[in-house]
Amino acid sequence: MEEQSRPVKDISIKNGDDIQSIFEQLSTSGGFESRNLAEGLEILSTMINDKDCLKFLSFVAAITSTGLRGIIADMLKKKMFDVVITTCGALDHDIARYFSNYLEGSFTLDDSKLLEKNIHRLGNVLVPMESYGPIIEEKMQMFLEAAYKSGKKEMSTADITRMIGENLGEGSFLYWAYKNNIPVIVPGIVDGAVGSQIWMFTQKHSDFKLNVVADSEILSSLIFKAKKSGSLMLGGGISKHHTLWWNQYRDGLDYAVYITTAQEFDGSLSGALVREAISWGKVTQSAKQTTIHAEITTILPFLYSALLSKIK
């Protein structure tokens, strides 16, 4: 048993209570994920208020197909983070939703019938074919052609995402990253529609090169001079791992909050708790860290709302 354990306190919510007071009660409620959620708020607010901290945001693509894209964009608009690491699908959805619309659907829809109607299903989000592939193809070829004609024959993924953001507007998370000079790095950029369009572009312009190693120069220039580093990791996979991987070069993250639905029993990277990364030197032994087991689109709006009242 932990020394000086506190008694479990009942939660009492009254009409008019603000979200901050509710989070304070979660911190003394004893269990189960409520304490991790309250702890995550404290870690994130401390991290964002720490002027010496290099702040990473990593996230999986699927959440940007939902309304949570608005929170991602808002966090970057407010400059809460210094670096973004994500997957190609996030770029796909950001372009597609800026120029078109996705639709509300259901997990129980008949996928064969959706195929006949040229509608893709992403969980309970519907992606009409005309809102996705053709738009991304048209826009990416246009963006790349303009960049090529301006003399850009080699680009990193950070260059690609900056180029896209420059051509979008306020609803886009890539726009706010571009506007605030926040690099967005996509280590697996060829795994998605945007990546396929880059490949297609090279078929017409064989002298155009995608230089993913150049992203390492960006990350190393930031990591090696950072006094501290921290990260909010939304979901697992390559975006989470790339964030952890680069932070091992400065002896690990000093702040780390991970939100996931994955389980650790299968040994997967996505299921691994933040504390496992300590053994690899990707999170410091003294780090303020927690793993929140929750579905991101459900939890993040409340966490973000409480965070806004705590940041300076």
Whole-angstrom distance, CA of residue 181 vs CA of residue 226 = 17
Q: What does pTM read for this prediction? A: 0.95
pLDDT at residue 2, as a whole number? 53
pLDDT at residue 1, as a whole number? 43
pLDDT at residue 3, as a whole number? 54
Nearest to 102 by CA among 66, 136, 74: 66
Contact 294, 33 (CB under 8 A): yes
Exposed/middle/buried for residue 269 (C-beta within 10 Å: 0-12, 13-18, 19+): middle
Whole-angstrom distance, CA of residue 54 vs CA of residue 16 = 36
Collapsed DSSP state (helix, strand, coil) of residue 221: helix
Nearest to 304 by CA among 67, 15, 12: 67
In the residue annotation, 282 being an active-site residue is answered as: yes
pLDDT at residue 5, as a whole number? 80
Contact 174, 92 (CB under 8 A): no
pLDDT at residue 31, as a whole number? 86
pLDDT at residue 4, as a whole number? 65
Collapsed DSSP state (helix, strand, coil) of residue 11: coil
Low-confidence stretches of the chain (pLDDT beneath 70): 1-4
Q: CA separation (Å) from 21 to 24, 25, 186, 309?
A: 5, 6, 38, 11
pLDDT in tens, 69-88: 999 999 999 999 999 999 99
pLDDT at residue 146, as a whole number? 98
β partners of residue 283: 253
pLDDT at residue 119, as a whole number? 98
What does the block give as tokens for 290?
Answer: 């927690």
Eight-state DSSP code of residue 38 = H
Of the listed 228, 282, 288, 312, which one is catalytic?
A: 282
Whole-angstrom distance, CA of residue 230 vs CA of residue 283 = 9
pLDDT at residue 140, as a whole number? 98
